[in-house]
Every structure is written in C-alpha cells, then in structure tokens.
Chain A
Amino acid sequence: MTPLLQLHNIRKDYGGLRAVDDVSLAAPENAIIGLIGPNGSGKSTLIDLIAGAAEQTAGRVIFAGEDISDLSADAIFKKGIARGYQEPSLYFKMTVLDNVLLPVKDQRGERPWYAPWRRYWAHEEAGHAEAAVTVLEQVQLLQHYDTLASDLSGGQMKLLEIARCLMGKPKLLLLDEPTAGVAPKLAYEIFQQIARLRDDYGITFLIVEHRLEILFDFADYVYVMHLGNLLAEGTVAEIANDATVREVYFGD
C-alpha cells in the first residue's frame, strides 16, 4: 500500500541557514507518527512545508498519491491536511463554537451572494452545528461552546485546536506540540484522545512532541531530526535504544 504522505528530499533554506536538509519520510494511513528532535532541528519548519505555510527550496510532497508541493495552504487543507500550531493560534475573540464552525469546508453561507439570505444556508449551518456538538463532546468542550476561546485554559485551547482541525474532516493531522504547557495528566488524556481518533476515523497524525515519555506510549513510528537532517527512524523500541539518538537527545 502506498503511504498517505511521502516527503522526497525536502529542503528549506532561510537565507544561509538550512532549516530542513533533504528530509524524506513516509506516513501510512491510520497511524500516529512521532517527529522528535532537539530545539531548532527543523520540526516546525517541516510542518509548515507540508501544510503549505512555507515554500520548500527543493523536494516534493506527495499526499494520497498527488503532488501537493506547490499548492497554497488553503488548497492543501481542502485536500485533507489540517494542522495545529506550536504557538496557541485560536480565534481568541470568537466563541468556541465559531472556532470550530469556521473551518467547515464548502459553506454556502460563505459566499457573499448567499450570505445575507439565511434561507439558503440556515439548514446547512444547523447541520454543521450538530457536527460541532459531536466533535466538541469528544474533546469535552461542549459545555463551553459559548465561551470566548481566550477564556479557556491552556489544555482546553490545545483540545479546541484539535477539534477545529477535525471539523475540516482531515485525513492527515499535523500537530506541533499538542501538549505544550499542559499538566501531565491532561497531556496523557490528549494523546488517548488522539489514539481514539486514529482508531475511530482512520486519521493519520504527524506529531511533534517533546514529551517523549508520553509520545512513546502512543506512536506507531518515530522520526528523529537533528540540525535539519533526519537522524534516525524506527519503531519506538528502536528509537529508544538508538545510540546516536540518545547522544543528541539526552546527551549520553
């Protein structure tokens, strides 16, 4: 079976700095793929490149058999790749509900000629609201649907970001430190949630994570980056025992 996502020799130069250096990787369907590496090793840049938020200097991105290297970020989302951000990036001045309704694809009410006339989209919008109920329930945010995103706790914000992605019905979800700044117990729960989404919906996750102790409990496969290069790859057991990885990561 061909992988859902394939990167072929992806490179990104920022001026003289090579943030990502000819990285190739593959992610199968229905899997949690870990992407780890020390600070500044190029993980977030790689996420940006896949999501179309930055343009690669060289290399190709293949998603579901299609070359998406030169598509814009909005087109890539529509193809089925959603992303979270390392920095909290919600619509803080909007309600939780509006945050998750905005990314729904192909909304009739988003077209200016339909927008003022509710009868063209009210029914559709109600359907989206019901879908939002399901998604918000999954991340335990339903009772906060009318809260401004800025009033949520750090952990809730991370969950809302995942919920927001889910409303776009992605096949691949890119998450950049989904547990940053979250208490250990909740961090574990977030990963349990992710595993459930993988199992229930067959979504593939590519997750940048610093908390290896949690990631290693859930990841199906792990890639390790160092100074823009791919240092190692393998199953959790292989990576945990890899001597070079231990050296760059734990300094031993």
Chain B
Amino acid sequence: MINIDIGATAVAVLTLFGIYALMAISLNLEYGVAGVPNFGKALFVSIGAYTAGVTYTRLLPLLAGLESIHPCGPSMGAALQLRSEIMATQPAAGFINLALTFALAAAIAGAVGFAVSYVTLRLKEEWFLALVLLVGGETVRILVRGADDLICSNNGISGVAQPFYFLRDPGASSFLFMLLALALALAAYLYSERLVRSPFGRMLKGLRENEDVTRGLGKGISLARAQIMAVGSLIAAIGGVLFALNTGFVNTNDFVVNLTLDVWVMVVLGGIGNNRGALLGALLIAIMDRLAQIGAIILNMGGSEIEFNYVRFIAFGLILLWMLRYRPGGLLPESRLTTEAHEVVKRVIGAAK
C-alpha cells in the first residue's frame, strides 16, 4: 500500500503547472503566434537553471557577506553546507539572490534567443533555425557538462534551495513557492495576452500566415521574429530558474530533448496560438507527470520491469500524432485576433446609421 498525501500532491502538481505554464506560454508565443518552430526550448530553460547554479554558488555567499567557496571538487561539501546555511538563516540574501538570478537568466536567454534567431533567419528559413536550436541546445548541454568548474560537470549543483526554505516548515515553504510559481505564470499569461492583442501580435500572426506578403507590406520580419524569440526565451529562462529551485538541483541531464518535446506536447494539446490553451496543456501534462510517477511506484512495487519513462515518452508521442491528425487546433483552438479597432469601427458605423 502507498499513502498519497492529497494536499502535498496538489501543491506539487500546481507548482509544476506554474513552471510548465511559463514554458508553454513562451513556446506558444514563438510557435503558436509567430510560427517560429523553436526546437531548442530545453536550451533556454537550461540557461535559467544554469544561471541559478552559478548564482547560488558564487553570488549568494557574497550577498550574505561571506566568502564563496569553490562548489566543485574537494570543497564541494563545504560549499553545499555554506549555501544551505545561508538559505536557512538569511532570507534577505536568498530573495535578493533569486531576484538577480531571474534578471540575469532573462537577460542572457533573451539575448541568446534574439541573436541566434536574427542571424539565422536572415540566412535561412525558420526550419533551419529549428535545427540550429535543436543541435545548439544539445551542444551547450554537453559543453556545460564537460566544464568542470561551472556547475561541476556530471555532479551538478545540489542544495539550490527555494527561497522559503528558511521557514523550516516544508509544507508552508512549498505552498509559498507554489504561489510564487503561479504568480509568475499568471504574469506571463497576462503579458502574452496583451502582446497577442496588439499590433505587434497582429504582425506576428500575419507573418505566420504568409511571410512573403508580410515582408511585402513593409514589415521587417527577421527582426519581428527575433524579438518574439527574445521574449519567449526570457520567459522560458524564468521557468528554468523555478525548475531548478523546485528540484533543488541543477543538472545537465534534465535538459535533454525530451523537455523540448514535453513543452511541444503542452502547446499542441492545449491549442496552438491560444495562451489559455497553453495553460491547459501545461496543467494536463503536470497532472500526467504526477500520475506517471505514482504509476511508476506502483509498477515497481508490483515487481514490474517496465521503465515508466519510456511509457510516458511513447504516450506523449502518440498524443502529439493523434492531436495533429484529428484536432490540429488543439483542445482550445485559437480565438480570432482583435484589437480595439473593431470596436472603433463598430461605433463609427453605428454613428453613421
């Protein structure tokens, strides 16, 4: 028998939902709205996580007024103890560190997203960018894993505590962390909704539907796509910071292509081009993730040899194919774009009558 704590499970699922929502919204802006197939989502998420790995080991001690200890090699244990102690006793340092981590991760990911897509899209079409990001993501992962000093290669960085750790009450601190994740997801959602319902969103949808015509109508389309990639990438990186904090661990193994595939499933399942669809997709996948974990435990207790990760992988692949075949718009298809211009025209017509 296993006991499932409903409350803790709900908090865990909702936290994961918040984190996934950030990733899904970012892909929805890029692919759903602007038609840029970003197959490097894992790269931009990982930038957030790696940034956390660096700030928690280098910046945090300085903010606490202490000297940092090299996190890798022989001093690994001492460094871990140092940051755990700071996170447990100096919440101010923890919060400032987190704020700086968000800012830094967003800036780096945004700049990388902008630069890679601007250069690539000027040379070739968007599927070439997809390939560059797919290969680039994996290359960066291998480079980071190979770098002994950055996040300690294969060992990764543990003890990346979430900011409410100082409460020393796991229930309360996870609850607050869940609220933080949900608040950031909500902010990203509201921001994206506004973006979509603006002239910028109209231009992006235009170039998704017909790139050549949009260029012919005076729009600098490489720039517009690079801009939305910058926005999407920085949102993804914020998701990546939370992802690391949620597991308490930064490790390159978390950022393989599977993560990119997961985010694609969320968007395709929820509704391409619809921010609410992205939220729904994120929620469904967060729930499925949790169920899969429980399923794996039950299976293993039953002595089964089946590796549940593969079941999940295959299930996601099937969902993707099924949706694309039978419901290409997703569960919540895109709503028609409108700025207030439609109301203005309605009023003008009404006044003329």
Residue ranges of A at the interface with B (Cβ–Cβ < 8 Å): 51-53, 72-74, 77-78, 82-83, 85, 89, 91-95, 97-98, 101-103, 105, 107-112, 114-118, 121-122, 125-126, 128-130, 132-133, 142-143, 145-146, 148, 164, 168
Asked whether A110 and B345 contact (CB < 8 A) given A74-B219, A116-B195, the answer is no
Query: Closest 7 CB pairs between A and B?
Result: A109-B199, A77-B218, A115-B200, A115-B198, A116-B194, A129-B344, A129-B341
Q: In the complex the two chains form, is B341's CB within 8 Å of A101's CB?
A: yes
Q: In the complex the two chains form, is A125's CB within 8 Å of B341's CB?
A: yes
Report which of A115, A130, A164 forms a contact with B194, defined as CB distance below 8 A: A115
Q: In the complex the two chains form, is B338's CB within 8 Å of A95's CB?
A: yes
Q: In the complex the two chains form, is B348's CB within 8 Å of A133's CB?
A: yes
Residues in A whose Cβ lies below 8 Å from that of B206: 91, 94, 102
Residues in A whose Cβ lies below 8 Å from that of B219: 74, 102, 110
Residues in B whose Cβ lies below 8 Å from that of A52: 216
A19–B160 Cα distance when bound, in Å, is 64
Chain B, residue nearest A136 (CB): B345
Q: In the complex the two chains form, is A107's CB within 8 Å of B199's CB?
A: yes
Report which of A82, A91, A114, A122 forms a contact with B340, defined as CB distance below 8 A: A122
Residues in A whose Cβ lies below 8 Å from that of B198: 109-110, 114-116, 118, 121
Number of B residues with CB within 8 Å of any CB on chain A: 40
Residues in A whose Cβ lies below 8 Å from that of B217: 74, 77, 82, 102-103, 164, 168
Q: In the complex the two chains form, is B218's CB within 8 Å of A103's CB?
A: yes
Residues in B whose Cβ lies below 8 Å from that of A89: 210, 212-213
Which of B58-66, B130-138, B220-228, B281-289 is the interface stretch? B220-228
Q: In the complex the two chains form, is A109's CB within 8 Å of B216's CB?
A: no
Residues in A whose Cβ lies below 8 Å from that of B344: 125-126, 129-130
Q: In this assembly, does B203 line the interface, its C-beta being within 8 Å of a C-beta of chain A? A: yes
Residues in A whose Cβ lies below 8 Å from that of B209: 91-94
Q: In the complex the two chains form, is B336's CB within 8 Å of A95's CB?
A: yes
Of B194, B219, B338, most buried by chain A (CB within 10 Å of CB) is B219
A148–B221 Cα distance when bound, in Å, is 23
A35–B216 Cα distance when bound, in Å, is 20
Chain B, residue nearest A100 (CB): B341
Of B228, B230, B348, most buried by chain A (CB within 10 Å of CB) is B348
Chain B, residue nearest A109 (CB): B199
Report which of B200, B227, B231 forms a contact with A109, defined as CB distance below 8 A: B200
Residues in B whose Cβ lies below 8 Å from that of A117: 194
Chain B, residue nearest A99 (CB): B206
Report which of B216, B337, B339 forms a contact with A83, defined as CB distance below 8 A: B216
Q: In this assembly, does B312 line the interface, its C-beta being within 8 Å of a C-beta of chain A? A: no
Report which of A94, A97, A105 forms a contact with B218, defined as CB distance below 8 A: A105
- Minimum distance in angstroms from A53 CB to a CB of chain B: 6
Residues in B whose Cβ lies below 8 Å from that of A82: 217
Q: In this assembly, does B349 line the interface, its C-beta being within 8 Å of a C-beta of chain A? A: yes
A–B Cβ pairs within 8 angstroms, 11 of them: A74-B221, A77-B218, A91-B205, A95-B337, A95-B338, A103-B218, A116-B195, A116-B198, A117-B194, A130-B348, A142-B349
Report which of B199, B201, B212, B215 forms a contact with A125, defined as CB distance below 8 A: B199
Q: In the complex the two chains form, is A129's CB within 8 Å of B216's CB?
A: no
Q: In the complex the two chains form, is A111's CB within 8 Å of B200's CB?
A: yes
